[in-house]
């Protein structure tokens, strides 16, 4: 069984997003990173940093932008951060 990450929308987490489990895609540690920041804030920070794969090698067919688009994350939620005026453009 796999679980979905509510931050980056990666659908291959081996454990549920809780109890200090870490998403291998975005690196969010659930129960720690999300204690004082929303999923939207964590997502915006991850994307602002280039949306890198966090741990090990990504799946061979992994495409971060397709992952975000297929998850139907609203563009304003996926691209705006509170501490920057920069906008990351997500290719269609």
Specify the pTM.
Answer: 0.77
Q: CA dihedral defined by 40, 55, 66, 15, rounded to 10 degrees?
A: -70
d(CA 12, CA 54) in angstroms, rounded, equals 13
* Average pLDDT of the residues in 18-42: 96
Two structure tokens written together for 80: 């705006």
The pLDDT value recorded for residue 76 is 53
Q: pLDDT tens digits for 54-84?
A: 999 999 999 998 998 887 766 555 444 444 4
* Average pLDDT of the residues in 37-53: 94
**20-to-32, 86, 91 alpha-carbon distances in Å:** 7, 31, 32
Domain with 17, as residue range(s), is 1-92
Two structure tokens written together for 11: 């659908």
Q: How many domains does the chain have?
A: 1
């Amino acid at each position: 069984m796999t679980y979905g990450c509510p931050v980056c929308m990666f659908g291959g987490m081996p454990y549920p997003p809780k109890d200090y489990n870490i998403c291998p895609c975005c690196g969010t540690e659930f129960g720690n990173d999300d204690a004082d920041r929303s999923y939207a804030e964590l997502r915006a920070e991850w994307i602002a940093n280039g949306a890198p794969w966090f741990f090990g090698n990504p799946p061979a067919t992994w495409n971060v932008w397709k992952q975000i688009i297929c998850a139907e994350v609203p563009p304003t939620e996926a691209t705006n951060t509170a501490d920057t005026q920069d906008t990351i453009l997500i290719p269609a």
